Copies of this chain bind each other. A is one copy, B any other.
Amino acid sequence: MRINGNYLDLKESYLFSLIAKKVDEYKQNNPEKEIIRLGIGDVTLPLVSAVTKAMKKAVIEMENAETFMGYGEEQGYGFLRRAVCDYYEKKGVLLDETEVFISDGAKSDLGNILDIFGINNTVLIPDPVYPVYVDTNIMAGREITFINGNEDNSFLPLPDETTAGDIVYICSPNNPTGAVYTKEQLKIWVDWALERDAVILFDSAYEAFIRDENLPTSIYQIPGTKKCAIEFCSLSKTAGFTGTRCGYTVVPNELVREDIPLNRLWLRRQTTKFNGVPYIVQRGAKAVFTEQGLSQIRENIDYYLNNARIITETLLELGIWFTGGNNSPYIWLKCPDKMTSWEFFDLILDKYNIVGTPGVGFGKQGEGFFRLTAFANTDNVKIAMDRLKE
């Protein structure tokens, strides 16, 4: 038996283990210091009551023979797919229920979607980037090219005529940079894709953080996109589902390549290699999209956005260049005094007892940059920013 040799091409990621090691060392040497963590990409507020109420009810259904639910459709219950369609309708995007696939999160589907694409496609990935896009393609042995984000393009790279690629990943609001494409910018990507029959994998995991009504919360708000894009979303950040696991993937029926609707391929993939999301979780997810649920999660997101505002106001005051923080839980700052990402990490850990994430961990273009997140307690964010201002 031979292993998949592509796995040997993967780089080990020491980013978060190295951060943990450095923080542990600092704590051991400075047990009296209180460290504030602004490096974590995980939510901190609990599930809202609309969700837990629905899940409690679902657990009770599961313990009675009359209401017990066994296997559901792999692509998710109709009640939840319908709720997702209604959510999109409010964005001005009309979807059919068959175009929505309930998933256990955007990460799984962003990786698994590659199953339906031929190996010989070239993949175009923005740098800096969520590492999953890169690693899943290395595992499959695909050729990867990068398009560079940088200070000049405000970490929102755009293609030109020379840009090549069959599959492209776009994440907006972006992880790690927090930058958000405008409709006009996304249209450039869509036109580029339509022109060369490329497919856009659009990661909209942070769409719920968008408050500016002019910014797109779905790529399908750009006309023509149903012919060239698959959209991945998740309730992880929208509704604090990081430990509850539910998302959805939209594969429009109009998206056809080589005369085959990709929707049909993805349905086949999911019915063969997946068995659906727990009934209890789907009931909780459905509650997110009720009036009460939407109002409750909005409150939570406002809490995080307020943290982000406190951070960005401090950076403005200090004259530090950054992207994100508006319409996003991530703030991507340029390390002052030409420091490298790790030099800045060490500096603010040692001097201000603040933990963030070195930008270089997200790609070459991240060198010299640094990610802070708004997923924290507001009092701690204030203390951290006061320390920075000093």
* A residues apposed to B, CB below 8 Å: 1-5, 7-8, 10, 42-49, 52, 55-56, 59-60, 62-65, 67-72, 104-105, 107-108, 111-112, 115-121, 132, 135-136, 139, 166-167, 197-199, 240, 242-245, 257-258, 260, 262, 265, 268-269, 272-281
Residues on the B chain within 8 Å of A265, using CB: 3-4, 7
Total copies of the chain = 2
- For A69, A166, A278, the residue with the greatest tally of chain B CB atoms inside 10 Å of its CB is A278
Pairwise interchain contact B257-A3, C-beta atoms closer than 8 A: yes
Pairwise interchain contact A136-B44, C-beta atoms closer than 8 A: no
Residues on the B chain within 8 Å of A136, using CB: 272-273
Residue of B nearest to A139 (CB): B115
Pairwise interchain contact B199-A1, C-beta atoms closer than 8 A: yes
Residues on the B chain within 8 Å of A49, using CB: 63
Query: In the complex, given contacts A46-B64, A71-B242, A136-B272, what are 14 additional A-B residue pairs having Cβ atoms less than 8 angstroms apart?
Result: A1-B199, A2-B118, A2-B166, A3-B260, A4-B119, A7-B268, A44-B68, A45-B68, A52-B60, A52-B62, A68-B240, A104-B275, A115-B139, A244-B280
Residues on the B chain within 8 Å of A120, using CB: 2
Q: In whole angstroms, what is the CA distance A115 to B273 when docked?
A: 12
Residues on the B chain within 8 Å of A56, using CB: 56, 59
Q: Return 15 A-B CB contacts under 8 Å, by A number.
A: A1-B199, A2-B117, A2-B118, A3-B257, A4-B118, A7-B116, A43-B70, A46-B62, A46-B65, A48-B63, A52-B62, A105-B275, A107-B273, A112-B112, A244-B280
**A197 in complex: contacting residue of B1, B135, B273, B278, CB < 8 Å:** B1
- For A104, A136, A273, the residue with the greatest tally of chain B CB atoms inside 10 Å of its CB is A273
Pairwise interchain contact A257-B52, C-beta atoms closer than 8 A: no
Closest-CB distance, A254 to chain B (whole angstroms): 14
Q: In whole angstroms, what is the CA distance A63 to B1 when docked?
A: 47
With A59-B59, A278-B245 as contacts: A65 and B44 at CB distance below 8 Å: yes
Closest-CB distance, A145 to chain B (whole angstroms): 14
Residues on the B chain within 8 Å of A7, using CB: 116, 260, 265, 268-269
Q: In whole angstroms, what is the CA distance A245 to B132 when docked?
A: 24
With A273-B108, A275-B105, A275-B108 as contacts: A243 and B62 at CB distance below 8 Å: yes
Pairwise interchain contact A55-B273, C-beta atoms closer than 8 A: no
- For A105, A120, A272, the residue with the greatest tally of chain B CB atoms inside 10 Å of its CB is A272
Pairwise interchain contact A117-B4, C-beta atoms closer than 8 A: yes
Pairwise interchain contact A63-B69, C-beta atoms closer than 8 A: no
Closest-CB distance, A61 to chain B (whole angstroms): 9
Residue of B nearest to A52 (CB): B63
Residues on the B chain within 8 Å of A63, using CB: 46-49, 52
Residues on the B chain within 8 Å of A117, using CB: 1-4
Pairwise interchain contact A62-B47, C-beta atoms closer than 8 A: yes
Residue of B nearest to A260 (CB): B3
Q: In whole angstroms, what is the CA distance A42 to B139 when docked?
A: 34
